[in-house]
Amino acid sequence: GQSIYPGTCRDRTEVEARLVRLRAKDEQVEWVDVGLGPCKFRVKEAIGDVVLRNAHGLFSYHLANVVDDMHMGVTHVVRGEDLKEATVAHLYLQTEFQGPVIRYHHLGLAYDAQGFKLSKQTHAPAVLAERREDVLNQVFHHLGLPSVDVAAPETMLQSAVASWRSKIAPTL
């Protein structure tokens, strides 16, 4: 995770401050994650003060995410387990803004043979077109879904979505 802000500039005036932060309260955020089960974190210890606007005057990812979710009526979020700490910030802001409760499902990440996360962030290689059906079945396996007959990728994805819905629907 990231380092916790020590409060160095916490008591500066709004004119002096380079960032706008929401001061973290000493309270606990809890949720039952569909993928990870019960999760609980002390806000101050897990994330510290939440940046709302950065030094360039731009709204933070956390603030924009929570406001967008509230505005769009988002009820469920599925994302990688590496974003668990972001979820703490989002739930904290949702509570502060008296927003609706959102259900979260954090999925395990995929790693290469050397243990590096497979993602754009780590510059993982693109999937070769001639292997896409095999890769799709590997992804389905990673998600705990049954393999599907090799067909056009669109057909394979439709089958996987149906399996995902039947697997996840009872937990929502």
Instruction: Render pLDDT for 57-83 as a digit per residue (tens, 0 to 9).
Output: 999 999 999 999 999 999 999 999 999
In a domain, 31, yes or no: yes
Q: Over the stretch 2-50, which tens digit does the pLDDT of each residue have?
A: 788 877 777 777 666 688 999 999 999 999 998 899 999 999 999 999 9
**For residue 130, what pLDDT is reported?**
83
Pairing of strands 76-80, 103-107: parallel
For residue 162, tell me if it sits in a domain: yes
pLDDT of residue 171: 64
Provide the number of structural domains found in the chain.
2
Domain identity same for 26 and 102: yes
Q: Are residues 82 and 153 in the same domain?
A: no
* CA nearest neighbour of 80 among 54, 131, 117: 117
Give me the residues paired with residue 118 across strands.
none
Residue 74 belongs to domain with CATH number:
3.40.50.620
pTM (2 d.p.): 0.81
Q: Is the dihedral of CA 155, 158, 162, 164 positive or negative?
A: positive
Instruction: Establish if 14 belongs to a structural domain.
Output: no
Task: Establish if 112 belongs to a structural domain.
Answer: no
Domain identity same for 43 and 86: yes
Its domain, for residue 167, covers 129-171
In a domain, 164, yes or no: yes
Q: Burial-class residue 105 by CB neighbours within 10 Å (0-12, 13-18, 19+).
A: middle
Map tokens 């994330």 to a residue.
47
**Rounded Cα–Cα distance for residues 57 and 37 (Å):** 37
* Whether 27 and 91 share a structural domain: yes
- Evaluate whether residue 51 is within a structural domain: yes
Do 30 and 97 lie in one domain? The reply is: yes
